Structure 1
Amino acid sequence: MKLKTKNKNLSKNTAQLKHENSMFELTPDIFDLFLPDAFQENVDYIYLGPENYCRVYVLDIDYPGEMYIGFFDSLLDKGEIAISVFIEPRDTGEAIKDITRRINAMKSNAMLQRGEPDYKLLAQIEWYDALRSSLQRSLEKILMTQVFIVVYAKTLEKLKEDCIRITKFAESLGLNMRCLSFEQQKGFLSSLPLGPRNLRYFEKFRLMTTSSTACLFPVGNTDITYDEGFYIGYNVITNSPVFYNQFDKQLPNPHMAIFGTTGAGKSTTMKTMLGRMAAYGYNICVLDPEREYEKIITMLGGKYIRIKPGEKLGINPFDVEVEEEEGKRFIDLNSKVADIRFILNIISEYYVGKKLDGVQMAAIERIVRKLYYDRGITSDPDSLYTSARMDEKGQLLVGKIKKQLPTLSDLREELYKESETQALAKAMEVFVGEGSLSLFDCQTTIDADDKIIAFDLKEFERDNFLKFFASVNILSWIWNKFSNAKLKGQKKVVIFDEAWMFTRYQASAEYLEFISRKGRKYKISLMIASQTLLEFLMNDTGRAIINMCASKFLMRQESDMAAQIAEFFRLSERTTEIITSSDKGQGILINPREKIFVQITPFDFEWEYVTT
């Protein structure tokens, strides 16, 4: 009776299990998430559904003699590519036996040879001997490796074009991509992570050591996190936070360029970053051409200075500070000579109609040095100060007082004395005394001790030259102030919105390159921004300015510029699509180490101050 009951219960459980299995058969599993709409194998490509084609390659076993970590990174940037690396361990004992047999055979051949030794054969023996030693000491393992490369495209024509381009690039790396003609399905399935021995393609295996195999893996990272970085936003792909530090030692320089069309959120992004850098204690100076930063500068407790044509600004282009490098303090008169020469070159190019020649540049350097020498100012830091002097109001100042420095009026007087610079001196008439452009012909009266300071250039919006001239002088002055030995270890940022005006003057690239080198030494970051990326790409000066910045943030761009942008920044097709269709506040953050899709969004309490 009990036996019948057991059989009855067993039948009942079996029926229930079958019913449950039939239910699960209707439930999608993980493979259904990435199955293509179709799968049609052709001779040398696979059709995966509407606007989805691919071609499968396997790497030939003849790899380059020298490889390095991240060797495949440059290949991944060339298009929509998937790289699959299949690795199978080989028995170390068997590998040692094989290597020993090979060494013995090569040694026998070497002994049988007469005449001059075969140095190539001897080098091979030495290499195999070192490999055997590494295996015996467990420093290395022997692995069987196989690399598949799958190229994807939306159309068959695009697939063919991309494959030609990618295979040619692979050849330049010393790689031979072999198309799996008549074996596309087997190769495609072999490239998928579907478990071992799944219709594997068993040719083109290569024996490699563990350290060599590591070179096969791309090292690109989808996230960016730097030590001492400030929060800028989140990774659109992974939703992970992005902390960025443009001063990180892994980057060539601390400079950044931000580009975005109208409505891309460029200004909001700049102000959001400004506020967060201020929270980290950065010293910040802003050149504001559109009067957009007044609200946030005031909120942060900074100084907002409005500049008007014809009024003395309180900035002297001849101002210098004591700097420090490798423990030595000095006054960098060489840099100041370069600053003044650049300012005069701008005046000459715009008012005289030609750039300065070599004779004029030599005369200017001689005159500038004389102006400092006449006041007893040399590279010695103590020479910049006196024990007492009268200020502009006739009051006696005592103690360690900074000397009165040369002015543009003093410079013009000396230029008149040299025949080769008299035309330049005449052109300077409006820049000195009571001239309409004489705002920088004065002693410095602005206190640069404020952590945050901004200059309003709105009054110059109708005169692009005057705006540019004012920007250069302010930039030179703040760079000089930020180079002060007192601020040596402090992070400093100069934000220059609408920097496109620099692209119109050839000397700009040389000048910005000059101050960028100084920025690396003194922890000064120049952040330039512009709506018009085309202005930069159209000429050598603009391209040089972009290349000067190690970090770039590309926000939404016009579709008709996509090809030019992709070519210059070496963007993949997918990345190019992103920057032409990204939402407000989104962009691709690029530096020599990585590219990442970032969303920068102000916090709720920041919106009031970052919107114009």
Structure 2
Amino acid sequence: MLKKLFSFGKQKEGETGEITLEDTVDINYPLLNTLAPDSIQEKEGQLQSGDNYTKTFVVTSLKGQIDANDLRQLNEISDNIDFSYYYEEMDEYQIKKQLSKSIQENKTKRDNPNAKPSTKTDAEAEIKSAENTLEKLSFKQTKMFNLQTIIKVTANSERELDVLTNKATTIFSSIGRPINPRFRVKDAFDSSLPFATNKLKNFSSTTITSRTLSYFFPFHENEIIMSDGIILGKNRATGNIIKVNSENLLNKHMFVVGISGSGKSTFLFADMMRRKSFGYDILVIDPKGEFGRPFIERGGKWFKFSNEKGGNMLNMFDVPQVSYKVDESGEYQERINPIRDHITSLMVSFKLMYPNIDLDAQNELSSVLIELYKDFNLDIDDDIDFTNISNEDYPILQDLANLIDSYKKENLENGNRNPKYNPERFERLANFRKGIDKYIDGGLYQHVLNGYTNVDTTDKSLIAFDVSAVTDIEELNKVVYYNVLTYIKKLILNGERNKTQVYVDEAHYIADPDVPIAMKNLFIMMKVFRSLNCGVTPATQSISDFLSAEEKGRNYGEAVIDQSIQRIFLPMLEKEVEEVNDKLNLKLTEENKEFLKVASGDVVEDRGKGFLYVGSKKVKIEVILTELEHKVWAEKNYEDLE
């Protein structure tokens, strides 16, 4: 296009120099009109440049104290409103002289017995401000500048010009007074062009410090564009893409929240596919069965866990080859006993299975688990090479039930005395034994957890662990969900530290207020994974449930969120917006809260919008899909993946 624009007037040998109709077919006239308008017409207060209408303002009387928050709205304007800044350093001697004079004049006002209280207060504030600036100048901590700000508004019609003008002046009026040089519109227009020619020098300027001046620079714009990063979406304020390079952050963890229909799953899918293209292994707990089919079409794996006979199975008694202990910051400390570490995870699973287990039964059960592993030649005190242990070498849930049952049998079937006979131990575990009856042979859920692991994870580059078949079974979903999470932990611990992202969708399923240790284990897992080149993305549509797991005054839902350097907040119900803002200390303005709120029962009109935090930096994000991602995710069209 630019070649066509700039070829006008360049005559080649043998050409007549005339422009034919065919030459203009593909011309971008709005762009051409901006670069080279066919006419410029001055009107009172505005100027018409070709088909564009412009109005220019000079800002006077900036308020005395300006900070970064005052200019945030200006930096986020995406309309055709441009700002030009002319500044020059002031002579230090002259500025000290002016400040001294100002101090003396304000002292006179303050000490005037007839002055109003408000006048005295204002004078005292001016004195303190001037004295503070003088002190900084004396210690070379600041410099003073004259600043002149010019605002140019451009529109395609006079009506649009009026709308944008009102918007610009309203926003800027909070920090200064924009005036329109009605009889010098061409000079004002020229001064707004990128030629560093100020034709309005005689208009008033404002004296500011170097610190305040820094806030006006365009580098202050609220953008997140990291080199070699992955595109997360579009900046709703500026229209630019948002790119984040997790490799350069403290960790790769990300937290995502948004109600049903907010675009949460769409964002997760896009993030998975883009990370996959960057060489990440992708492991997903899929409680809604959304990701399995796209994964299969892209050469991944789809494991389904249900109560149907012959389905996929993850044996909860499988032990990782290694386990690690980390400090509070997530840094590696030492290797620990894998069986001992895994028994801790098993105790969480059993509390989810049978929440009423008492302390005596818990203590007894932990000893029984040690005995169970020993019966299978896996002694907790032995130095075992778990790389040589097959799936069938581990006990299963039925074996635990059989061991507990053996404590009440005085004699074996052959008539010999049973060496495991221990009626007191059985009595302490009797209620727990009844509680797990539904999960073993002959029980209602016998095909969910009672068996050997039968999934092949040799290639773990793209795996969906689909638990949708049990999501609506309240007494089962937490147990299965946590079991899958524990198995993923085993994969990461056993792995070769390839770049990996684990997605824990609808993570509120393990946020049980009666068993807070489940969420605590997710928190600990995230600390461990950080040192293993792995990130975790917990996601939820229910922030209230997610924040429900507390123990001894510590909220482990909050702890998980705090572990996440990247956080995405998509539309939520009003009460959840308030809860998130209060508990996470987001300090959202009322405008920002309204941006996220969705009234109960309403359809989310603007799905995929929200806030992205990377550390302390915040931008408005809009989730966008590529054409191929849209075909696969929205249209379920998998032909282009073949």
Letter paired with 2:618: K
| Equivalent residue, structure 2, for 1:481 | 491
Residue of 594, 608, 611 corresponding to 2:617: 594
- For residues 582 and 598 of structure 1, do their structure 2 counterparts lie closer, same or farther at Cα, with a shift above 3 Å needed? farther
Residue of 333, 336, 353 corresponding to 2:339: 333
| Equivalent residue, structure 1, for 2:283 | 285
For residues 471 and 272 of structure 1, the distance between their equivalents in structure 2, rounded to whole angstroms, comes to 23
| Equivalent residue, structure 2, for 1:407 | 396
Letter paired with 1:443: Y
TM-score by length of 1: 0.62
- For residues 521 and 377 of structure 1, do their structure 2 counterparts lie closer, same or farther at Cα, with a shift above 3 Å needed? farther
What secondary structure sits across from 2:531 in the alignment?
helix
Tell me how many residue pairs correspond in the alignment. Answer: 469
| Equivalent residue, structure 1, for 2:519 | 509
What is the percent sequence identity of the aligned residues?
Answer: 18
Matches within 5 A, 1:194-593: 199=204, 222-245=222-245, 247-251=246-250, 254-262=253-261, 264-309=262-307, 311=309, 313-323=312-322, 332-349=338-355, 352=356, 356-357=358-359, 359-374=360-375, 375-378=377-380, 382-386=384-388, 404-413=393-402, 418=425, 419-438=427-446, 439-450=448-459, 451-484=461-494, 486-488=495-497, 490-506=498-514, 507=516, 508-536=518-546, 542-558=557-573, 562-568=577-583, 569-580=586-597, 583-593=606-616
Matches within 5 A, 1:184-203: 188=177, 199=204
**Contact 2:391 2:453 (8 Å CA) reproduced:** no
**Contact 1:261 1:556 (8 Å CA) reproduced:** no
Query: 1:602: how far off?
Result: 1.9
For residues 497 and 290 of structure 1, the distance between their equivalents in structure 2, rounded to whole angstroms, comes to 9
For residues 629 and 381 of structure 2, the distance between their equivalents in structure 1, rounded to whole angstroms, comes to 45
Query: 1:345: how far off?
Result: 1.3
For residues 618 and 605 of structure 2, the distance between their equivalents in structure 1, rounded to whole angstroms, comes to 15
- For residues 327 and 187 of structure 1, do their structure 2 counterparts lie closer, same or farther at Cα, with a shift above 3 Å needed? closer
**Contact 1:384 1:403 (8 Å CA) reproduced:** no
For residues 265 and 623 of structure 2, the distance between their equivalents in structure 1, rounded to whole angstroms, comes to 12
**Contact 1:322 1:331 (8 Å CA) reproduced:** no
- 1:411-446 alpha-carbon deviations (Å, 9 max, x no partner): 345556535433222312222234222322222221
Matches within 5 A, 1:138-217: 142-143=143-144, 188=177, 199=204
Query: 1:606: how far off?
Result: 2.1
What secondary structure sits across from 1:487 in the alignment?
coil
What secondary structure sits across from 1:436 in the alignment?
coil
For residues 565 and 216 of structure 1, the distance between their equivalents in structure 2, rounded to whole angstroms, comes to 31
**Contact 1:90 1:143 (8 Å CA) reproduced:** yes
**Unaligned 5+ residue runs, structure 2?**
1-38, 78-84, 97-136, 148-172, 180-191, 193-197, 325-331, 408-421, 598-603, 637-642
TM-score by length of 2: 0.59
- 1:306-347 alpha-carbon deviations (Å, 9 max, x no partner): 222153633111212334876987653343122111111112
- For residues 403 and 81 of structure 1, do their structure 2 counterparts lie closer, same or farther at Cα, with a shift above 3 Å needed? closer
- For residues 217 and 339 of structure 1, do their structure 2 counterparts lie closer, same or farther at Cα, with a shift above 3 Å needed? farther
For residues 313 and 186 of structure 1, the distance between their equivalents in structure 2, rounded to whole angstroms, comes to 63
Query: 1:610: how far off?
Result: 0.9
- 1:206-227 alpha-carbon deviations (Å, 9 max, x no partner): 7xxx799979999865222345
| Equivalent residue, structure 2, for 1:110 | none
Letter paired with 2:317: F
- For residues 24 and 529 of structure 1, do their structure 2 counterparts lie closer, same or farther at Cα, with a shift above 3 Å needed? same
Matches within 5 A, 1:15-164: 23=42, 27=47, 33=55, 58-59=64-65, 89=89, 142-143=143-144
- For residues 376 and 533 of structure 1, do their structure 2 counterparts lie closer, same or farther at Cα, with a shift above 3 Å needed? closer
- 1:454-492 alpha-carbon deviations (Å, 9 max, x no partner): 2332322441221221111111111111221x321x122
Letter paired with 1:241: I
- 1:143-174 alpha-carbon deviations (Å, 9 max, x no partner): 5799xxxxxxxxxxxxxxxxxxxxxxxxxxxx
Letter paired with 2:284: V
For residues 22 and 74 of structure 1, the distance between their equivalents in structure 2, rounded to whole angstroms, comes to 38
For residues 601 and 556 of structure 1, the distance between their equivalents in structure 2, rounded to whole angstroms, comes to 16
For residues 74 and 275 of structure 1, the distance between their equivalents in structure 2, rounded to whole angstroms, comes to 36
For residues 257 and 92 of structure 2, the distance between their equivalents in structure 1, rounded to whole angstroms, comes to 53
For residues 74 and 420 of structure 1, the distance between their equivalents in structure 2, rounded to whole angstroms, comes to 62
- For residues 572 and 261 of structure 1, do their structure 2 counterparts lie closer, same or farther at Cα, with a shift above 3 Å needed? farther
For residues 21 and 214 of structure 1, the distance between their equivalents in structure 2, rounded to whole angstroms, comes to 35
- For residues 92 and 525 of structure 1, do their structure 2 counterparts lie closer, same or farther at Cα, with a shift above 3 Å needed? same
For residues 423 and 250 of structure 1, the distance between their equivalents in structure 2, rounded to whole angstroms, comes to 48
Query: 1:296: how far off?
Result: 0.7
For residues 407 and 521 of structure 1, the distance between their equivalents in structure 2, rounded to whole angstroms, comes to 31
Q: What value does the CA root-mean-square deviation take over the aligned residues?
A: 5.0
What secondary structure sits across from 1:292 in the alignment?
coil
- 1:81-123 alpha-carbon deviations (Å, 9 max, x no partner): 99xx998746689999xxxxxxxxxxxxxxxxxxxxxxxxxxx
